[in-house]
Amino acid sequence: MSATIIVPALQDAYQGVLRRNPAESEFHQAVEEVLGCLGPVVERNPHYLAERVIERLCEPERQIIFRVPWTDDAGQVQINRGFRVEYSSVLGPYKGGLRFHPSVLLGTVKFLGFEQIFKNALTGMPIGGGKGGSDFDPKGRSDAEVMRFCQSFMTELYRHLGEYTDVPAGDIGVGGREIGYLFGQYKRITNRYEAGVLTGKGIAWGGSLARIEATGYGTVYFANEMAKQVGATLDGKDVVVSGSGNVAIYAMDKVTELGGKVLACSDSSGYVVDEDGIDLDLIRDIKERRRERIRVYAQERGGRSRFVEGRIWDVPAQVALPCATQNELDEDAAIAMVKAGTKLVAEGANMPCTPGAVSVFQEAGLLFGPGKAANAGGVATSALEMQQNASRDSWTFEHTDGRLHEIMRGIHERCVATAQEYGQPGDYVFGANVAGFTRVAEAMLAMGVI
Ligand code: NDP
């Protein structure tokens, strides 16, 4: 079972992270989880310690922080802070999304960038790890305001990007609209149609079919592989999905296609339960087109649906897919879920379960799939978008979705085999961290002291 950090050299490395990065609790949490799994790895490979691979990996290659000034519709000057943490480029150009949310701090971006290194390694594709964003809140802003913000953000960030250097994508608060404005400004400043510099683009201008669906679909493909390990599938299962954004919507879509019933979904104001199964067309209309709050679903759907201002994890279901944000599912919720009979949890979001919740799940013998494995389908399909851009080609939906499915099966196999190899069968947290870490560590060592 993944655990606290026991090996003294790893504990020293972790203490160094705490000292050098004060008050960045999410970053500490992400590092602790990975280092907690590496004990048996450094025992087998003491040269990882001698070469100080772990300390090197805990320090981003580059951290960029910049001012983003822009003018709102009332003519008022607004100032936000922009970030890009270029974490590791040993496997390929930095790759990872941009998050626009008022809660974004440097530590948030560092935690996401750190996770991204191992996630990207797990896909087996040639992509390094990075992440970025801003404390800008797109909620309630007009399209013109969002455009002006994105243009100002890119006016600084462009000098750090490039299809061989750093390739951002979307994340919370950054969808197709924002990627469009960012790409437009990049193209204008550089005078280059460098399609591979951003992923998640529109289909008409260099985007990949199946990219928008990829994270949610990939999470469900992964969850289904986990279920198969115990001779089950998602068919006929009750499922709860937190969030109602990009990842959640397409996770719900795939669950429904595979015969599961989605009972509830949420946003930051609360959740809706629908005993007849969530009507996805209505959710998409409310969230993707009208950009309204989740309570509107219950008002318009009526029937056996209702809105609740509380935690979605109180809705009993055999399968739970947390697809909203970090630390949204705590130990208390996990205990309630185990009691209510939840059998499988797969993280569509990044680090949505607290360490306490993960321990509860693992001790109860639940199948638990961590985000860096389960939600890797998004970045993997971004890499497929880059491949299409590089060859000036565009693949069919079926082809890309088929590749995604194959990649998710591969990640699942890698996690299972690695956990097995180290005598930790069924521990996906261990399998994902160790398989991802090993690929990155080997590449680092091959490249000398970098
Ligand atoms: P979206 O912005 O499309 O949706 C986010 C959803 O989560 C919304 O329903 C939002 O509700 C909810 N949410 C956000 N913050 C909070 C909060 N503090 N408390 C409760 N609910 C919250 O983002 P994505 O769907 O793209 O991302 C969701 C998660 O998946 C994130 O953890 C992201 O890092 C991860 N992820 C995304 C990938 C992608 O391809 N998009 C790839 C891999 C991981 P509200 O509207 O009320 O804020």
Q: Is the pLDDT of residue 1 over 80?
A: no
Q: Ligand 1 atom closest to Cα of 352?
A: 32
8 Å CB contact between 381 and 212: no
Q: Cβ(268) to ligand 1 under 6 A?
A: yes
The token pair at 429 is 């947290």
Pairing verdict, β 305-308 and 270-274: antiparallel
Q: Tens digit of pLDDT for each residue in 398-443?
A: 999 999 999 999 999 999 999 999 999 999 999 999 999 999 999 9
Q: Which residue type, as a one-letter code, is found at position 434?
A: V
Q: Is the pTM of this model over 0.85?
A: yes
How many whole angstroms from 268 Cα to the centroid of ligand 1? 10
Tokens of 194: 């460098």
Indicate which atom in ligand 1 lies nearest the CA of residue 214. Answer: 40
Could you tell me if 271 and 310 are in contact, meaning their C-beta atoms sit under 8 angstroms apart? yes
Mutational test site, ligand 1, from 241, 325, 379, max ligand atoms within 8 Å of CB: 325
Amino acid (one-letter) located at 325? T
Using CA positions, which residue lies closest to atom 30 of ligand 1? 349
- Distance, in Å, from the CA atom of 150 to the CA atom of 319, rounded to the nearest integer, reads 37
Q: Please write the tens of the pLDDT for every residue from 129-180.
A: 999 999 999 999 999 999 999 999 999 999 999 999 999 999 999 999 999 9
C-beta of 243 in contact with ligand 1 (< 6 A): yes
- Closest among 13, 19, 114 to 63, alpha carbons compared: 114
Q: Kindly give the number of the ligand 1 atom that is closest to the alpha carbon of 247.
A: 25
Which of these, 34, 43, 140, 143, lies nearest to 87 by C-alpha position? 34
Task: Measure 245 CA to ligand 1 centroid, in angstroms.
Answer: 6
Residue 191 has pLDDT above 90, yes or no: yes
Q: Which amino acid is at 418?
A: T
- Is residue 375 within 6 Å of ligand 1 at its C-beta? yes
CB 391 within 8 A of CB 402: no
> Which atom of ligand 1 is the closest one to the Cα of 211?
40
Q: Largest alpha-carbon pair distance within the chain?
A: 64
Instruction: Give the nearest ligand 1 atom to 112 CA.
Output: 34
| pLDDT of amino acid 357 | 98
Q: How far apart are CA 194 and CA 164, in angstroms?
A: 10
**Which among 131, 237, 254, 287 is annotated as catalytic?**
131
Closest CA to 333 of 352, 349, 348: 352
CA–CA gap between residue 333 and residue 355 (Å, rounded): 12
Q: Is 244 in the pocket of ligand 1 (CB under 6 A)?
A: yes
> Average pLDDT over the chain, rounded to whole?
97
Which residues neighbour 430 within 8 Å (Cβ) at sequence distance 6 or greater?
1, 2, 37, 418, 419, 422, 424
**With a 6 A CB cut-off, is 349 part of the ligand 1 pocket?**
yes
- What is the DSSP code (8-state) at residue 203? G
The position carrying tokens 């469900």 is: 220
**DSSP strand pairing (319-322 vs 270-274):** unpaired
Task: Grade residue 3 by pLDDT with cuts at 50, 70 and 90.
Answer: low
CA 324 to ligand 1 centroid distance, Å: 4
pLDDT value at 2 more than 80: no
Neighbours of 290 (CB within 10 A): 10
**110 part of the active site:** no
Which residues is 63 bridged to in the sheet?
85
pLDDT for 36: 97
The verdict on the CB of residue 350 being under 6 Å from ligand 1 is yes
pLDDT at 9 over 70: yes
Atom of ligand 1 nearest to the CA of 325: 32
The residue whose C-alpha atom lies closest to atom 48 belonging to ligand 1 is 268
Per DSSP bridges, beta strands 77-88 and 62-71 are antiparallel
Task: Measure 248 CA to ligand 1 centroid, in angstroms.
Answer: 8
Does residue 255 surpass a pLDDT of 90? yes
398 is written with which tokens?
Answer: 């079926």
pLDDT (tens digit per residue) in 302-326? 999 999 999 999 999 999 999 999 9
Whether the CB of 369 sits within 6 Å of ligand 1: no
Our answer on whether the CB atom of 168 is closer than 6 Å to any ligand 1 atom is no
Residue among 247, 283, 375 whose CB has most ligand 1 atoms within 8 A, to mutate? 247
Mean pLDDT of 442-449: 97
Token pair, residue 423, equals: 């005598």
Q: Is the CB of 377 under 6 A from ligand 1?
A: no
DSSP 362: H
| 19-40 average pLDDT score | 98
In this predicted structure, what is the pLDDT of residue 4? 84
pLDDT value, residue 207: 98
Asked if residue 238 has pLDDT above 80, the reply is yes
